[in-house]
Amino acid sequence: MQILCLLIALSIMVGGTAYPPLLMTTSGKVDHGLATLVFWSMSAGFVYGVGFVPKNIVARWLLSFWACLVGLLVAGLLKLFL
């Protein structure tokens, strides 16, 4: 699962750098809610993907495998339906 998280984080990093309009609305403005979810997923993917496990229980959950997937799923649904 660590490799999957790392691959998700790397693909978000490359995709956001190569094609920034992915994080924009149809009117051309930045969608801050979407960007927050995507970058949370990317951060969790990098942290969990390299094997770091925070000692703080809240940080451990916010930077876990499940947080990476939930952030990405909610961001995808937000982009798809709004």
**DSSP-assigned beta bridge partners for residue 30:** 24
Question: pLDDT tens for residues 41-78?
Answer: 999 999 999 999 999 999 999 999 999 999 999 999 99
| C-alpha dihedral, 7 to 18 to 71 to 81, nearest 10° | -130
Q: Which long-range contacts (CB under 8 A, 24 or more apart) does 72-81 make?
A: 72/8, 72/12, 72/37, 72/38, 72/41, 74/37, 75/34, 75/37, 75/38, 75/41, 78/31, 78/33, 78/34, 78/37, 79/22, 79/31, 79/34
Q: Taking the model in full, what pTM does it have?
A: 0.94
